[in-house]
Each structure stands twice: as C-alpha cells, then as structure tokens.
C-alpha cells in the first residue's frame, strides 16, 4: 500500500514538472530506456540497491550512465531523486502510471480495455465514442488481450472495474449460489 502511495506522489510530481506533450513523450521514452537498461543489467541493479556501496559512488555511477545516454536534465534529475531517496525500485511502476496521470492532467479519462480477442478499429471507435458520451470528456484507451475472460470485455478506470465478461458473470453467479 505504501509503495502505491509513493508511486502516485512521484508520478504526480513528475507530471507537474512536464511542460507539454513533446516533453512527456521524451521523458517517458528516456525512463523506459533506463528501466530496460536496469532489467538487462542485474549487476547494476544489485550495485544500486546495495547498502554496502556509498551513496556518492551510486550517484556517480548514475551520473556516468545518464551522461553517456544523453538523457535530458529533467529525466536525469528525476532518476537522481529516486536514487537519493532509495526509491529507484519504484521506477517501473512510475513509468506505468505516467500516462494515466498525464492524461488526467490534460482532462482525459484513461480506461484499460481487456477483451478475449483484439477489437476491430470500428469496435474501438464505437467504444471510445460511448465512453466519451458517458464521461462527458475525452478518453484515452489502452487495450490488452485476456483469453481467460472467455467472452465480452472488461473496463478498468483507476481502481474501478466494469466487468461485462463471461468470466465476471460466472463469478457473480458462483457468489450468489454460495450465499444460498
């Protein structure tokens, strides 16, 4: 729970520091590149997480990596801030939350759409139009395929899930039967 709160705070702070869509895209790509680097180099991750290595040495390692990668000043400062506060392990979660917070700042609702198969373009456009009508503001949709839904779709906005799948209906039916 605490890590979710920290992810939210750091993500909101980063979003508030971003000026426009171009900078949002650039910083997002740079952070994704850094996360990829960490995933490809577990030895680097171990060094940065080690309590036996001095903070100055860790900072110098990060500065060298960022300088060699030519990251922007904003990205470099953000990664440095996470390292300084021992929160670098949150970077993957921050990167996932970044588009949601960015779109919310722009007045756009974000939904995660899960379906058994990929939706057609016409279905995506229809769903987007319906959600914009209900929300009374623009929406941003992300899509993922989840074969275990059996049929139908599931929509997630923040912590709220709208389940119109067979799997969800069967779970509700099971719950009612168990209740007696």
d(CA 122, CA 111): 17
The pLDDT value recorded for residue 180 is: 67
Task: Kindly state whether residues 88 and 175 are assigned to the same domain.
Answer: no
Give which of 151, 157, 155, 158 is closest to 114, Cα–Cα: 155
* DSSP SS3 for 81: helix
Whether 83 and 167 map to the same domain: the answer is no
Number of domains within the chain:
2
My answer on whether 42 and 118 are in the same domain is no
Sheet holding 152-157, edge to edge: 139-145, 109-115, 152-157, 160-165
Beta carbons of 12 and 101 less than 8 angstroms apart: yes
Reported as a single tens digit per residue, the pLDDT across 129-176 is: 998 998 898 988 888 888 877 777 888 887 788 777 777 777 777 787
Q: The domain spanning residue 95 has which CATH number?
A: 1.10.520.20
82 shares a domain with 140 = no
Residue bearing tokens 């702070």: 13
Domain that holds residue 84: 2-103
Same domain (yes/no): 94, 166: no
Domain boundary among 103, 120, 139: 103
Measured on CA atoms in the order 71, 37, 45, 9, is the torsion positive or negative? positive
Residues 35 and 59 in one domain: yes
Rounded distance, CA 168 to CA 171, Å?
5
- Cα separation, 125 vs 129, whole angstroms: 6
Token pair 């929509």 in the structure block, residue: 155
Least confident of 53-67, 107-121, 147-161: 147-161
pLDDT in tens, 29-45: 999 988 898 888 888 88
Q: What does the pLDDT read at residue 129?
A: 93
């Amino acid at each position: 729970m605490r890590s979710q709160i920290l992810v939210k705070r750091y993500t909101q702070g980063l979003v508030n520091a971003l000026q426009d869509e171009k900078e949002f895209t650039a910083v997002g790509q740079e952070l994704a590149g850094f996360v990829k680097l960490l995933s490809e180099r577990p030895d680097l991750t171990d060094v940065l997480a080690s309590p036996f290595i001095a903070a100055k040495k860790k900072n110098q390692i990060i500065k060298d990596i960022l300088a060699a990668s030519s990251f922007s000043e904003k990205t470099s400062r953000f990664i440095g801030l996470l390292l300084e506060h021992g929160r670098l392990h949150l970077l993957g979660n921050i990167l996932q939350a970044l588009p949601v917070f960015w779109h919310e700042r722009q007045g756009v609702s974000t939904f995660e759409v899960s379906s058994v198969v990929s939706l057609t373009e016409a279905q995506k456009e229809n769903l987007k139009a319906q959600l914009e009508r209900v929300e009374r503001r623009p929406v941003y949709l992300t899509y993922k395929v989840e074969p275990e839904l059996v049929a139908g779709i599931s929509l997630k906005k923040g912590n709220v899930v709208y389940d119109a799948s067979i799997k969800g209906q069967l779970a509700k039916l099971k719950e009612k039967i168990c209740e007696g």
